[in-house]
Structure 1
Amino acid sequence: MFFYNAQFWRFVIVGVINTSNYYVLFLFLHNIVHFHYMAAHIISFIISMVGSFYLNSYFTYKTKPTLKKFLQFPLTYLVNISVSSGAIYIFVVLLKINESISPILASVLAIPFTFIISKIILTKETN
């Protein structure tokens, strides 16, 4: 069960840090630079993913980051960005939820998927 797993809680801590970084960058790009909300979301997402790779490698899973893992890591976020982007669209367009709040709500939906996939990639032994 996730709640008794120390890795899961380290993942949650990294997730809070990463989501905070993502959200600050999103708000900056959307509200100050005036990027479209979806462009701000995708740019912020990609930048925060790099930080997430290193934090999860060193802190969550205590593994050495390698180029191979770095190149595979975006696969962990393929589901994440699909779920979160779809959810943002639904929240903003269909449910009329504020564009600045929707990314946080959408991020929560993708957490379990990202944990499982990142654990598989980052803890897999390299040849």
Structure 2
Amino acid sequence: MKKFVKFIAVGLGGTLFSYFCYLLLLNFLTYQQSYFVSYALGIVYSYIFNSRFVFKAGLSIKKFLIFPSVYILQYLFSASGLFWLVDKLHLNASYAPIVVSVVTIPITFVVSKLVLETTETRAN
């Protein structure tokens, strides 16, 4: 439970970081392009802070390369959700990523834990 609470804290920080990047990028790109770039930046943030703070795992190139796989499926799910929320349900594009993020938190925790802790165990 303690790890999940830390994960939520890191996730909140990462979500805010990504969201502010998204809002900034909306000035220059479409909402889907803005979401893609801010999402990628959020993955880097998440890898660093989840590895060090939540799961107490070391940073490595191997884990850094594996970790984004957690988010590939989540991205596809999130981008689809974002499309539905914005284009079909007409939710404001500034708020839609918040809704998408809340839905994906539990799934992301479990898969991140598996990748970071299992990869750490195998590396030793």
Pair 1:117 & 2:111 matched:
yes
Structure 2: distance between partners of 1:79 and 1:13: 22
**1:6 alignment partner, one of 2, 5, 16:** 2
Q: What is the TM-score normalised by the length of structure 2?
A: 0.94
Match of residue 101 from structure 1: 95
Match of residue 69 from structure 1: 63
Match of residue 43 from structure 1: 37
Deviation at 1:66, TM superposition (A): 1.2
Pair 1:21 & 2:38 matched:
no
Pair 1:52 & 2:43 matched:
no
Structure 1: distance between partners of 2:19 and 2:2: 25
Q: Which runs of 5+ in 1 are unaligned?
A: none
Query: Structure 1 residues 13-22 or 75-84, which shifts more?
Result: 75-84
Amino acid of the residue matched to residue 9 of structure 1? V
Q: What is the TM-score normalised by the length of structure 1?
A: 0.92
Deviations 1:48-85 (A, max 9, x none): 11011000000000010111111100011122212211
Deviations 1:13-54 (A, max 9, x none): 000000000000000000x32x10000000000011101100
SS of the residue aligned with 1:62?
coil
